[in-house]
Structure 1
Amino acid sequence: MTLSRRAVFGLMAAAPGIALAQGFPAQPVRLVVPFPPGGPADLIGRLIARVMGERLGKAVVVENRSGAGGLVGIEAVARAAPDGHVIGLASSGVLAVQPHLTQQMPFDPQTELAPIGLVLSVPQILAVHPSVPANTVAELVALAKAQPGRLSYGSAGIGSSLHMAGELFKQRAGIDIVHVPYRGAAPAVTDALAGRIQILMADVPALLSHVRSGALRGLGVTSARRIEQLPDLPTMVEAGVPGMLSETFYGLVSAAGTPPERIALLHAAMVAALDDAETRAALASQGGMIVASTPQAFASAVVEGAARWGEVVRAGNIRLE
C-alpha cells in the first residue's frame, strides 16, 4: 500500500498549485485525535501535525476529543463542514470494529468519511503487572484457565482495537478474562502500572518504555514477526497462540464531500510528514510501521478490516454497553 516515490513527488509537486487555485487552507486545520493526551494516537497526531502545517502553510492544531472508544471525535469530523479544515486521526477500532457493535452507530465510516490516507500500522504488546505469576504467554494462559474470570485486562474502550486484540486472545487461547474498558489507552496503562488490572494488550508506543524498564512484563507481540525494539519478545504465534495477529492502523479522514483537490493536498502534506526524517525516526523508535497509503488503499483496508473484525465481534457476542 506504500506509495512509490514517483507518485509521492507527483502529488507534492501538484499541491502548491492546488492551494493557490483553491485558497486552501484559509485557516488553521484542526486535527481531531479521538483519544486523551498521552496515548499512542495523540503521539502520532502531534508528530505529523508539525510537518503537515509547514507543508500546508497553516498550522495543524491537534484537538483531543475522546469518548466511546474514539467515536465521539471521529463523529465530529464526519459532521464538520466538508471543506478540509477539520480532519481526524481515525483508528481501525472506529472504522472497522465499531459498526459491528451497535445498531445505533452515529455515522457510517464507509460513506460519511473521506479517506485521506493510512498513516501507520502498530502491533500490540501483551504485558502483565509484575505481581502476576506468569513469565510467558503459556504460563499466563495456564493461570487464566486455572482461575477463570479472576484476571482482568484493560483496553482503550469497548470496540477499540485494543479491546478486539484482547478478545481475539481470549478466543484463540480459550480463556476467560474480564474486560475493563477505559477512555483511551493512557488511563489503561496507568491502571496497569498500578496493578489495578493484571493484563494489558496495548499498542507498542504505549507500552514500550514500561516493558523496557520492567514496570510491566512483556510476554508477546501480536505482529507476524518480532519487532526490532524488543527482539527477545516472541510473537504470540511463536508463544503458542495460533492466529493471534492484530495491528492497529491509524489514518487521516475528512468529512465526506470534501473536494478531491483538497484531499490531494492534505494527502501530500501527510506524505511529507511521513517522509520527514525526524518524524520517521520517532515513529519507528516506538514500533510503528509507516504506511503512507493512497486514499483508495485506505478505503480498501477499512473494508477488509471490517470483514475480519466482524467475525471476532460475532464470535464473542460483543455489544456496546
Structure 2
Amino acid sequence: MTFRAMLFAAAVTMAATLSGASRADWQPSGPITIIVPFGAGGSTDIFGRVFATEMQKQTGWTVLVENRPGAGGLIGQIAVANAKPDGQTLGLSSTSMFAVEPFMPDASGELQPDSVDFMGTLSVIPYAIVAGSKAPFDDLKGLAEYSKAKGPAKFSSTSAQLTLAMEQLAKEIGIKFVAAQTSGSGESLQLVAGRHADFTISGGVHVPFVLDGRMKVLAHFMDERGSYAANAKTVDEQGAVLPLRNYFLFNAPKGLPADVKATLAKAIDNAVNSDAVRKYGESIFVTARNLGPEGSTKDVMEQAAVWKARLGK
C-alpha cells in the first residue's frame, strides 16, 4: 500500500470513528421526563420509577417520572404524542393504549397505533383478575354465577381498554358486571379491599395482597399462570380466549432523530436488563423483557389489526 493510500485509509477510519462517536455521544440538554398516564402507586408507576432510577444511575442523566392520569391514560399518552421529538420526553404505558383505544366506539381519534415511536418494553404486564379473599367466588365461573344471582358484579377498572377486554371475556363466560373507572391499580385495589368493588384487573401491584391473604386471583389474565398463585387458572384454561397480551410499553414522540432514537433505545435496553429492574420484576413474578423498537412496533401493529377487525373499524 502506498503512503497516500495509507493516509486515505486512515482518514476514512477516523471519519467513521468520529461519526460513530457523535451518534453514541448524544446527550439530553435537560431532564428526561417519563410520563406515566396513570395515577401514583399503580403497577406502571412503581415499575417505571424503578426503571427511571436505574436509567439515571447508568447514564448520569436526570430522569424524572411524571404521573398524568385521566381518561383511562389517554390524557398523558396524548401529551407524549404531542411533545417535541427531542429525546426529552418518553411515555410508559401499555400495548392496549395503541392496540385497542384507537378502535373503541367512542375513540376521539387523537391517538392512533402510529402516533408515536415505540422504543421497547419493560416486561409483560402480569395482569390478573382479583377479588377480596372473602369474596363468595373463586374463579370466573363462580363470578358469573354470583353476578346472575346477586346482580351485576362491580368491576373497578383502570382503563377503558381493560373494560372492553373484560366485556369480551364476559360474553364468553357469562359474567354480568358494571364498571367504574379509577386512576390506576392502586385505587382499584383499595376499592376491592374495602369491599366497594367486587373485582378488578391488576397489573402486578396485587401480588403482595395475594401473598398475605388479603386477595385472591380469579384468573391470570396472561398466557401463563403466575407462580405466586399457581393454583389459579389462566383465562384460557377457564374456557375463554385471552383478549389481550399487554406489555409495559416505552414510547416517544414520533420523528425522533436517528441518533437520539438509537441512544435512547440503547439506554432503555441497558436499564431493562439491569439487576435492579430484573429483581423488581421477579418480585411481581415477571421477567423483564425488552422487545426493542422493532419488536414492540411489530407486536402493537399485530394486536391493533386484531382489535380493528374485532371492533369493525
TM-score by length of 2: 0.86
Pairwise CA distance, 1:156: 0.6
**In 2: Cα distance, 1:175 partner to 1:88 partner:** 34
Q: Which has the larger radius of gyration?
A: 2
Partner of 1:154: 156
Partner of 1:228: 227
Partner of 2:183: 183
Partner of 2:119: 116
Pairwise CA distance, 1:177: 1.1
Tell me the alpha carbon deviations over residues 116-157 of structure 1, each in whole angstroms, 9 at most, x when there is no partner: 11221123212222443113332222222334x431111112
Gaps of 5+ in 1: 1-13, 316-321
**In 1: Cα distance, 2:188 partner to 2:311 partner:** 21
Q: Secondary structure at the match of 2:251?
A: strand
Pairwise CA distance, 1:60: 0.8
8 Å Cα contact 1:25-1:56 kept in structure 2: no
Tell me the alpha carbon deviations over residues 233-280 of structure 1, each in whole angstroms, 9 at most, x when there is no partner: 222232x22213543212111111111211111111111111111210
Pairwise CA distance, 1:40: 0.4
Report runs of 4+ in structure 1 exceeding 4 Å deviation: 14-17, 311-315
Residues 195 and 314 from structure 1, CA distance in 2 versus in 1: closer, same or farther, beyond 3 angstroms? farther
8 Å Cα contact 1:123-1:246 kept in structure 2: no
8 Å Cα contact 1:122-1:287 kept in structure 2: no
Partner of 1:7: none
1:1-321 alignment runs, 5 A limit: 17-20=22-25, 22=26, 24-101=27-104, 102-110=106-114, 112-147=115-150, 149-159=151-161, 162-203=162-203, 205-238=204-237, 240-244=238-242, 246-310=244-308, 313=311
**In 2: Cα distance, 1:183 partner to 1:247 partner:** 21
- State the identity %: 25
Give the AA of the match of 1:133: P
Q: Secondary structure at the match of 1:30?
A: strand
Partner of 1:319: none
Partner of 1:11: none
Q: Secondary structure at the match of 1:123?
A: coil
Residues 130 and 232 from structure 1, CA distance in 2 versus in 1: closer, same or farther, beyond 3 angstroms? closer
**In 2: Cα distance, 1:293 partner to 1:274 partner:** 10
Give the AA of the match of 1:274: V
RMSD: 2.2
8 Å Cα contact 1:29-1:85 kept in structure 2: yes
**In 1: Cα distance, 2:139 partner to 2:254 partner:** 46
Q: Secondary structure at the match of 1:290?
A: coil
Residues 210 and 283 from structure 1, CA distance in 2 versus in 1: closer, same or farther, beyond 3 angstroms? same
Pairwise CA distance, 1:292: 0.8
Number of aligned residue pairs = 294
Pairwise CA distance, 1:312: 5.4
Q: Secondary structure at the match of 1:257?
A: coil
Give the AA of the match of 2:302: E
